[in-house]
Amino acid sequence: MKHSWLLRACLFGTALATLPTLAQSEEVAARVIVLRHGVRSPTSSPDELAPYANRAWTTWPVAPGVLTEHGAQGITALGQRMQRMLVADGLGRGQCDDAWLVIADSTPRNRASGAALVKGLQPSCHTGYLALAPEQNNALFHFVGKSGAKEEDAAVAPATWPPSALPELQFVLLGCRGDICLQDAARQGRKLLIDPAHDDDAAHAKSLKTAGSLSENLMLEYAQGFPLAQVAWSKGDAATIGRIITLHNQQFALSKKSLPAAAKAGSNLLAHIVATLQQTAGMSTNAAPLAPAKTRTVLLVGHDTNLANLAGVLDVDWHDERQPDDYPPGGALVFDLLKQKEGYAVRVSTWMPTLAALRKADFSDDAALVRHTLPLAPCKGQEICPLGTVVHWLDGRLDPASIDPSIPAMPVNQP
């Protein structure tokens, strides 16, 4: 008999085909939250970005790729909102002895976000967060295979060219439209996203990858709270940012969310998330849980790539016009283990901060988070799914070669 690598114990004999919507009698036994770090500066320097625009890029107050003070304030405010939500769902009392654990990736922006999140969750406590030393690779967030190096996702060309939002982004960058505009920009040495001289799949794939990054940089200007006169050279109102950020979504859908790339990059993290839920349910696994059994909530401060990888393995989508960026700073994918009379079940949902809330660094209003429950394929149309059914389904979707059964030993870091 072939045993699932995720579950040695027997699966539930006969999984329920359908389950009712969460009732008041049902208990949230455990929760794992995977969220993106807070607002950061672009990872490329102004000099590196210069060839793509006809004007100078906005100057940021921090080095490339670093969490800003505004971003830290936003994550702390998000932590305050999450604290209220955790207490409301019976996962704690808002006290220092709450069994909550924050784990952050090792990049400086993630470590800083982990510190800011702890301040929001437990502001009067001497609570730390777990993280490896700065820039030391953490396989939970970036799995490294036998080669010893992270695999880079191949650029993929979209089915139709150009994507609907690409001409608008090109206009924002150059400040003009039409063939003459493109010709003048080319003569000035600008790098074009729509380039008649390079009109093949390879060029389209490279262009979309660049467009995804550039559109995110402009979104970050808006989320950072720069005056609108500075955001996207005065063209970056919320509606414009909302349209062009879909290029980032599309690029991620092709390179980060699609299988098998998503399984290679996301299987390790998801295996440990599921093991954490299984531990609470009293089941044994081959993958180590993220925290001791008494821990009620684990918060993992990762990246937009982690969210996209998990979405691909889970085969879920949460796009919503109220937050057109599918992977915003502070955006979270939430895994709940529900205790029912019939046994344990899983609910997966998203909490996505709106652009307006990110800009204000204020999440106190209920509408500041766009929330969705995501039905999983093995329980089609249902908001919750038996844990055994989910484990069995994921056994055929995860990549065993991309899973390390252990987790790295991470020291406690103080905010």
Using CA atoms, how far apart are residues 187 and 52, in angstroms rounded to an integer?
A: 13
Using CA atoms, how far apart are residues 369 and 305, in angstroms rounded to an integer?
A: 20
Judge contact between 280 and 29, C-beta under 8 A.
yes
Judge contact between 359 and 345, C-beta under 8 A.
no
- Give the 3-state DSSP-derived string for 294-352, with helices as H, strands as E and coil as C: CCCEEEEEECHHHHHHHHHHHCCCCCECCECCCCCCCCEEEEEEEEECCEEEEEEEEEE
Judge contact between 308 and 327, C-beta under 8 A.
yes
Using CA atoms, how far apart are residues 224 and 57, in angstroms rounded to an integer?
A: 14
Q: Which residues of the chain have pLDDT under 50?
A: 1-22
pLDDT at 13: 32
Q: Does domain 27-152+259-413 have CATH number 3.40.50.1240?
A: yes
Where in the chain are all domains bearing CATH 3.40.50.1240? Answer: 27-152+259-413
pLDDT in tens, 222-239: 999 999 999 999 999 999
| SS3 (DSSP) at 385 | strand
| SS3 (DSSP) at 384 | coil
pLDDT at 9: 35
Using CA atoms, how far apart are residues 136 and 108, in angstroms rounded to an integer?
A: 10
Q: Is the pTM of this model over 0.85?
A: yes
pLDDT in tens, 203-216: 999 999 999 999 99
End-to-end CA distance of the chain: 49
pLDDT in tens, 295-348: 999 999 999 999 999 999 999 999 999 999 999 999 999 999 999 998 999 999
pLDDT at 52: 98
